[in-house]
């Protein structure tokens, strides 16, 4: 819908930004809470999983902490080029996914910031 009221346009853009921010937060929360289920192929593997559970749990917690720290670090970066360098250096899928989300967010903010305000008559 077209509107000439600048205040209404600002409210609409603010609402769109808020929805995008909420979607990005949901994506980050989903990513941070993902769990990998071990395959169940036999009793021996179940026994190994029980023996290694404390270690795998600790590794998983460390990975979650690292992803949370990365997410905070990404919030502070305001350059798409810098994020692209991080993306190329990232090894884990979850890290790359967070970085790509941050790049999309920055690009959306840049596009929105560059959009000229239409002049009303």
Written as six digits, the tokens of 115 are 């959009």
| Residue 4 to residue 55: CA distance in whole angstroms | 61
Q: Is residue 10 part of a domain?
A: no
Contacts 24+ apart (CB under 8 A), 16-24: 17/109, 17/112, 20/105, 20/108, 21/105, 24/101, 24/104, 24/105
How many CA atoms lie less than 13 Å away from 111 in the CB half-sphere? 9
Q: Is residue 103 part of a domain?
A: yes
| Residue 102 to residue 96: CA distance in whole angstroms | 10
Q: Is residue 89 part of a domain?
A: yes
What is the span of the domain harbouring residue 77?
Answer: 58-115
Question: Closest Cα to residue 106, out of 72, 73, 83?
Answer: 83
Asked if 106 contacts 78 with a C-beta cutoff of 8 angstroms, the reply is yes
In terms of pTM, does the model score above 0.75? no
Q: Is residue 16 part of a domain?
A: no
Q: Is residue 32 part of a domain?
A: no
Which residue do the tokens 């853009």 mark? 13
Q: Is residue 31 part of a domain?
A: no
Q: Is residue 4 part of a domain?
A: no
Q: Is residue 121 part of a domain?
A: no
| Residue 72 to residue 88: CA distance in whole angstroms | 19
| Residue 99 to residue 96: CA distance in whole angstroms | 5
What is the domain count for the chain? 1
| Residue 9 to residue 120: CA distance in whole angstroms | 12
- The pLDDT of residue 38 is 47
37 pLDDT band (50/70/90 cuts)? very low
Per-residue pLDDT reduced to its tens digit, 80-108: 888 888 889 888 888 888 889 889 988 88
């Amino acid at each position: 819908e077209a509107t000439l009221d600048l205040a209404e346009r600002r409210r609409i853009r603010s609402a769109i930004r808020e929805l995008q921010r909420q979607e990005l937060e949901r994506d980050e929360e989903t990513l941070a809470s993902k769990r990998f289920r071990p395959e169940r192929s036999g009793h021996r593997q179940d026994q190994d999983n029980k023996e290694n559970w404390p270690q795998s749990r600790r590794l998983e917690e460390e990975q979650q902490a690292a992803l949370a720290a990365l997410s905070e670090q990404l919030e502070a970066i305001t350059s798409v080029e810098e994020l692209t360098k991080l993306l190329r250096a990232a090894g884990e899928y979850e890290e790359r996914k967070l970085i790509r989300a941050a790049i999309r967010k920055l690009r959306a903010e840049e596009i929105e910031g560059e959009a000229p305000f239409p002049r009303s008559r």
